[in-house]
A and B are shown apart, each in its own frame.
Chain A
Amino acid sequence: MGTLLKGIRRLERHVKKFESVPEIEAVMTQVLMDEKVKEAFDAAVENVIATAKENMSGKLTSKEKKLATDKATWQTIFKIEMYDAMRDFAVENYFHEFDSWNIKKLVVKVVESDVTPETVIEAIEKIEMETIADINDVLK
């Protein structure tokens, strides 16, 4: 579980990196304010925490247990997984089409043309499923 703490620090750096780009921040803030997205986001975080609680073994320290059931931590994780998914999608779909080698430009392109409440909900559901599978693997 040491990797969890390390991972979270990485994710926090990651979130900052994406949110430092005004075009990305503006669209994502707007999308995350959408009622349906908020609902999906909260439900996913709650499900993940419930899974963590169910599967928590004695192997974890109390600090780690607290972290594994902390809402704010999971919200950060979900956010960054979304940014990661966007970045991967940008590289996968737009890298070949543009002369630019700049990830920021490619992600902005994705944000402007592909990010909608629907695609974000889809991404949240996918992240939820993968995270629950990971928790089952790691915490069991």
Chain B
Amino acid sequence: MYNTNLYGHFEKARKSLKKFEKVDEIRAIEESVFGLETVKAAMKSSENTLMDKVKSLQDSYNGGFFSEEDFAFLTDEEEWDIMFRGFVLYSLNELAVTKYFDNEKAWSIKRIFIRTLKEEFNEELALQYIKKMESFWLQIFTWLRNVCSYANMVKGIVATATEK
């Protein structure tokens, strides 16, 4: 893979999800929002957009943009489910820490996170974070494509110069 950090993002999302879902109260609220038809549809639509982007990158480089293993990973719906849910929770965690940390004497992330979920997490915010995540990944894929085009251009220039 051109940018090994891609796996880092997935790994972080997986760890976030695992940690958050350990807490029953968090899992219940999270499942209720992610169970909403609009949220499910938005997540599916964003995932499809990203997987289409991965496929189109792969096609435009005749199957050579991603390695076979990376391509399989990046077109696996379950992996993207984890990515989206993990990162929505992670974004909420950032909101909790930034917004409520000062007002609480406690240093517990769990406490301010549950408060944030109860007070802030709803359909609208979930949809907003899903869109944000889609745009974050589209930027990464655009960046990768640009890096690749540049690398190919350099290779072309070197080949031409060598021939001369």
Contacts and interface: CB of A to CB of B under 8 A. Distances in A.
Are A and B part of the same complex?
yes
Contact of A88 (B16, B19, B97): B97
Contacts of B105: 17
Interface in A98-140: 99, 101-105
Interface of A: 10, 13-14, 17, 87-88, 91, 95-97, 99, 101-105
B119 interface: no
Given A102-B108, A102-B109, A13 B102 contact: yes
B46 interface: no
A95 B109 contact: yes
A104 B12 CA distance: 21
B118 to A, nearest CB: 16
Interface string B82-110: 00000000000110011001100101111
Given A101-B109, A102-B109, A87 B16 contact: no
A4 to B, nearest CB: 16
25 contacts: A10-B102, A13-B102, A14-B102, A17-B105, A87-B101, A88-B94, A88-B97, A88-B98, A91-B93, A91-B94, A91-B97, A91-B109, A95-B16, A95-B93, A96-B15, A96-B16, A96-B19, A97-B15, A101-B108, A103-B97, A103-B101, A103-B108, A103-B109, A104-B107, A105-B107
B143 to A, nearest CB: 20
The 4 closest A-B pairs by CB, nearest first: A96-B15, A104-B107, A101-B110, A101-B109
A88 B101 CA distance: 11
A96 B82 CA distance: 14
A102 B93 contact: no
Contacts of A88: 94, 97-98
A96 B12 contact: yes
Interface in B1-44: 12, 15-16, 19
A10 B93 CA distance: 20
Interface in B96-130: 97-98, 101-102, 105, 107-110, 113
Contacts of A87: 97, 101
Contacts of B12: 96
